[in-house]
Structure 1
Amino acid sequence: MTPFPRPVAALLALLLSAAGGRASAAPDEFLYTVQPGDSVWTLAARYLHQQHTWQDLRTNNQLRNDRLQPGQVLRIPLPWLRLTTQEARLAVLQGGVTLNSGTGWTAARADTALPPGTWLRTPADGTATLLMQDGTRVLVRPSSELRLIPLDRAQQEAWIKAQPASDAGPRTSASTAPVRIELLRGGLESTVQPQRDDSRFEIRTPSAVTTVRGTEFRVSADADSTRAEVVHGRVDFGNALGNVPLGTATGSRADLGLQPVAAVPLLAAPALEATADTLSADQIRALRWPPIDGAVAYRVQWFGADRPARLLHESVQEQVQPDVPPLTDGPYQLRVRAIDAMGLEGLPAARSLTLRTPPPRPRTPPLDVHWLDRRVELRWPPLDPQACVQVQIATDSAFAQVVLDELTPREGLNLPAPHRPGPYLVRVRVLQTDGGRSGWSEPRAFDPRSPQEPPP
């Protein structure tokens, strides 16, 4: 039998492997079966990172020319591909967040890339915000543990094959593959960018799977149950025993080994009081919201003013007023939502405010009053340069009938005798330029008709 020329034999081997069974792929490579119309240029533009070109594709597959035959199998190293599992970025964090990429748990740092397969933990006083390549944002609440699930080979190949063909012109930005998160415990609050029909955002827990194609939603889980709440949009929520579609302002719960409950409406957002935007901690604690029917508790969250907003503190409480954690003065956002008996959390209420600690109250000055030569002499200790003293003289002890109200920066004041006879009462207090003020001093009485000097 006359042997085939070497190029023909190589091509036949590729065709036979494609027809009779899939070629064996190495662990770090993807096998692509050439389709009609494919060329090394279009494949490079469609699938490869910018640093890899059609020449690399030719060299890796030992192609003698640029011709490709339908059914031909090309080997592409996985690191060359730009259509792989999305990489997350740890945008902001709070507290002792830790990561594990297979070499043990280490302290996390902000602006760190998290490749697929990475585990993340937040402590009871810690939070993290993940940003995906497509703009999806995931807030990881305190006491949570999750893993970014890498696509397996079958999922990866199905995703790559689903990408639309492109010409050999300038490369567009890299497409993003499906995102899958395994949440073992804790809670996530996600804002997912609209997903294509061949893509989806998925959160897996021990008792349910939540699948999304663009929405704002929350998922929380423990070893026994999972809860999903949709603030806006739609998600599919289910497990092996059943599936529940969830629309805007609905939620469901799935206990381990049981099918999810039917969708229920989420509780309404609390109505936070509309008061001044700049408040002290005591004024914030005095805020109230009307009780929500069906609520057994409320989740209170404090976010910073940075972007993306950092979750600084959260608590679950029964009272209809916010707790205030130790915070420095500055702008914040307060968010509150009600929790029902199933543990589903309702629609959120948000209030932007500025925390400002009032200056320390100045000390009430001691007042000395003397009646000398038919003049009233008032004296008090030296003042701070940024302060002055308010002097009031009245004819009644309630100071409803004030006959003199004067400000002075000096350490005393000499006044002529009043025109009408007494008795009179005088009091003083310190006023500061930053708004601080002391209490009034004890009123001191004097009477111009008396030849005696008032007692000290």
Structure 2
Amino acid sequence: MSPSLPLLRQLQASVLFTMTLALSSVVVAAQPRGEPGTVVATPPDMTYYALQGDTLLGIAKRFTNQSQNWTILSKKNQIIDDKTIPIGTAIRIPLDLLPEVDSEAKVVALAGNPVYKLPNGNEANLTVGTVLKEGTQILTGKNGFVTLALPDESRISIPSNSQVALSKLRKTQYTSSPRTELSLVEGKVESRVSSLNTNKGRFEVRSPLAIAGVRGTHFRVGVNDFGTANEVLEGGVAVDQAKAKKAAKLTLGAGKGNIVNASGVGKPVDLLPAPELDEGGRLQIRPTMQFLAQTMPAAQAWRVQVSKDAQALDVLMENQFKDRRFKFDGLEDGDYFLRVAAIDQHGLEGIPLIQSFTLKARPEPPFTSQPKNKIRADKVDFSWTEAANADNYRVQIARDSDFKTLVHDEAGIRNVHWTNDKLADGDYYWRIATIAQKNGKPDQGPFSDAQKFQKLPQQGAASFADSEGKDITLSWPAEPGQTFLIQLAADKDFTRLLLSKELTQAELTLPRPAPGDYFIRVKATDPDGYVGNFSGTQKINISARWTTSDGDALRSAAGVVKTGY
């Protein structure tokens, strides 16, 4: 007998309910399980583990603020009947559906006097530790530099003469996936962005002409006379015009750069390679530091930074140079890093060279006084100015300018002069260093620049042989081209000068003075203008004698007739 119609409908409904329940149970049972009520970041989604009584409608309302998103959750998680979600079932929620909340940037390093401007127009100086919010503008000014840290450990470095706005500074609720957008008004910005591939974060740098978007990379964006310059050091950067009617997006790889301007998105070009520096720059011994880059024909200029760290996040000073010689001053002694990048004809900065160096310029050496050039003396007198905080000094004398052949090394000199009487005639170099006390220990600074001098024989003394005539003649050793100053005095200290005469010849004839003791000395000036020291003092005696009426000596068979005086 066939079943009645009501009974048939009842059986059909029962079968349909059973099938639906079985299908729902099978689908839901296939879902991973976890601690009910917990949230885990599982990029590109967030996973929520259901509580008792959860529905897709309620989950969508709670986590995305949009209840209608339950349809997206249903499809993604393949849940047909959301009223029977078992406790602990994993519900995947796309990160793009999560609401955004405020994020922040923190100043971790700065130099100079950069300022920040709030959306309300208030302006203040930046300091390390300042926390910045969305809408803040940063102005570094001349010699200013700022590095910001984002919560995901990304770093944003803003060099001098730049203006950057934190136009978007947010993150997703629950998973903190970054949503960052910088607006570059002028200058440059360098970004080291942590990988955004797994958390589906976004990071963009916008200028009036271009947009650069990344998923995690190291790149620079700058505004120059050619347009917006994009330079990629690591990873890849998607570049496009800011207001392009037709997409012209280009992806730049590591070591590539381009210019975006009103004419379009420029083709990728190779960035200039890292420069090379001449040897000798790793140890700086003067307060004004100097570095010299090797010639690079394609380089039109150079951007140089001095920082505390190899990543140049804590930049102390920077400058752009036209010449390949770079100078900086104003740093304390210590260990630093130099970062140099060559700039090409389009204003694109190349791959940077990063080199460590040590500044040891203090205590500074004194200024040397003498000897310089040459000296004529048996003893060589060394003298210098007094250095601040000096405890004592160290003098070195060598035969060569590199001081590999040392002749004398004298430390512990506590005066500003010192005499050496053991040097043979010849060519020498000398230098001096200051030794101060630091933390209770001797601290020697760098040596002064080497001074060359030539030790020549001392000026020979004037000689006198009494011819007993009306005149006397004095003579002395000489070299070609020299001129002379001869002095005659009544005392050995030459306080009672009787004669002081300049001559071009090494001889002087003068009327015979009155009988008595006299003192003579001579000083030579070389053809190159060097004025030597006086010779040793010579004592001469003019004897008394009888003379004839014309003044000649009265002579007898025994010779000149002497008399007392």
When normalised by structure 2's length, the TM-score is 0.53
Aligned residues: 364
1:254 CA displacement: 0.9
What are the within-5 Å matches in structure 2 for residues 129-144 of structure 1? 129-144=147-162
Select which of 243, 258, 275 maps to 2:249: 243
1:273 Cα offset (Å): 2.2
**What are the within-5 Å matches in structure 2 for residues 303-382 of structure 1?**
303-305=307-309, 309-357=313-361, 359-364=364-369
1:313–1:325 contact (8 Å) kept in structure 2:
no
Partner of 1:225: 227
Partner of 2:393: 387
Q: Does residue 260 in structure 1 map to residue 282 in structure 2?
A: no
* Residue 222 (structure 1) shift: 5.9
The alpha-carbon distance between structure 1 residues 281 and 291, as it changes in their structure 2 partners (threshold 3 A), is farther
CA distance in 2, matches of 1:406, 1:223: 57
Query: In structure 1, how many angstroms separate the alpha carbons of the residues matched to 2:268 and 2:420?
Result: 78
Equivalent position of 2:119 in the other structure: 102
Structure 1 gap segments, 5+ residues each: 1-36, 48-53, 55-64, 164-173, 395-401
Task: Establish whether residue 193 from structure 1 lines up as the match of residue 194 from structure 2.
Answer: yes
Aligned to 1:51: none
Q: In 1, distance between residues paired with 2:147 and 2:109?
A: 5
- TM-aligned CA distance change 1:292 to 1:133, over 3 Å: farther
Residues 97 and 123, structure 1, Cα contact 8 Å, conserved in 2: yes
- Alpha-carbon distance in structure 1 between the residues aligned to 2:228 and 2:420: 77
Q: Secondary structure at the match of 2:349?
A: coil
Mapped pair 1:298 → 2:315: no
Q: For the residues of structure 2 that align with 1:237 and 1:144, how far apart are their CA atoms?
A: 21
Q: Displacement, 1:268?
A: 1.5
Kept in 1, the 8 Å contact 2:104–2:132? The answer is yes
CA distance in 1, matches of 2:409, 2:226: 70
**Shift of residue 442 of structure 1?**
7.2
Residue pair 1:389, 1:428 contacting (<8 A) in 2 also: no
Rate the CA distance shift 1:447–1:389 in 2: closer, same or farther, 3 A: farther
User: Is residue 2:107 matched to residue 1:90?
Assistant: yes
Query: Deviation of residue 189 (structure 1)?
Result: 1.0
Provide closer, same or farther for how the CA distance between residues 379 and 43 of structure 1 changes in structure 2, counting only shifts above 3 A: same
Q: Contact 1:85 / 1:179 at 8 angstroms: preserved in 2? A: no
1:192: how far off?
A: 1.1
Separation in 2 of the partners of 1:279 and 1:412?
28
Larger Rg, first or second structure (1 or 2): 2
| Whole-Å separation in 2 of the counterparts to 1:185 and 1:356 | 37
Aligned-residue CA RMSD in angstroms? 4.6
Distance 1:292 1:189, change over 3 A: farther
| Structure possessing the higher relative contact order (Cα contacts under 8 Å, 6 or more residues apart) | 1
Distance 1:119 1:311, change over 3 A: same
The correspondence for 2:137, drawn from 105, 111, 119, is 119
Aligned to 1:455: 536
How big is the shift at 1:66? Answer: 6.2
Task: Say which SS state the counterpart of residue 102 (structure 1) adopts.
Answer: coil
Deviates most, 301-310 or 438-447:
438-447
1:412 and 1:141 map into 2 onto residues whose CA distance is 50
Q: Which residue in the other structure is 1:32 paired with?
A: none
| Distance verdict in 2 for CA 1:386–1:86, change over 3 Å | same
Percent of pairs identical after alignment?
23
Q: Is 1:184 matched with 2:189?
A: no
Deviation for aligned residue 1:42: 5.8
Code of the aligned partner of 1:243 = K
Shift in alpha-carbon separation, 1:212–1:364, aligned structure 2, 3 A = same
**Counterpart residue type for residue 353 of structure 1:** F
Q: 1:413 to 1:178 in 2, by over 3 A?
A: closer
Question: 1-side partners of 2:130 and 2:379: how far apart?
Answer: 70
Query: Could you say if the C-alpha distance between residues 283 and 274 of structure 1 is closer, same or farther in structure 2, counting changes exceeding 3 Å?
Result: farther
User: In the alignment, is the contact (CA less than 8 A) between 2:376 and 2:455 conserved in 1?
Assistant: no
TM-score (norm 1): 0.65
Residues 343/405 of structure 1: CA separation in 2 closer, same or farther (3 Å cut): closer
2:56 pairs with one of 54, 70, 79: 70
Q: Is 1:145 aligned to 2:163, yes or no?
A: yes
CA displacement at 1:211 relative to structure 2: 0.7
TM-aligned CA deviation for residue 317 of structure 1:
2.2
Offset, 1:86 = 3.4
**Residue of 272, 279, 282 corresponding to 1:277:** 282
| C-alpha deviation, 1:67, in angstroms | 2.7
Task: Could you tell me which runs of 5 or more consecutive residues in structure 2 were left unpaired when the two chains were aligned.
Answer: 1-30, 42-47, 66-97, 400-404, 436-443, 464-519, 522-534, 538-565
Shift of 1:182: 1.6
The one-letter code matched in structure 2 to 1:273 is D
Query: Is the contact made by 2:287 and 2:330 (CA closer than 8 Å) also made in structure 1?
Result: no
Cα pair distance change 1:262/1:424, threshold 3 Å = closer
Distance in 2 (alpha carbons) for counterparts of 1:428 and 1:230: 51
SS at match of 1:71: helix
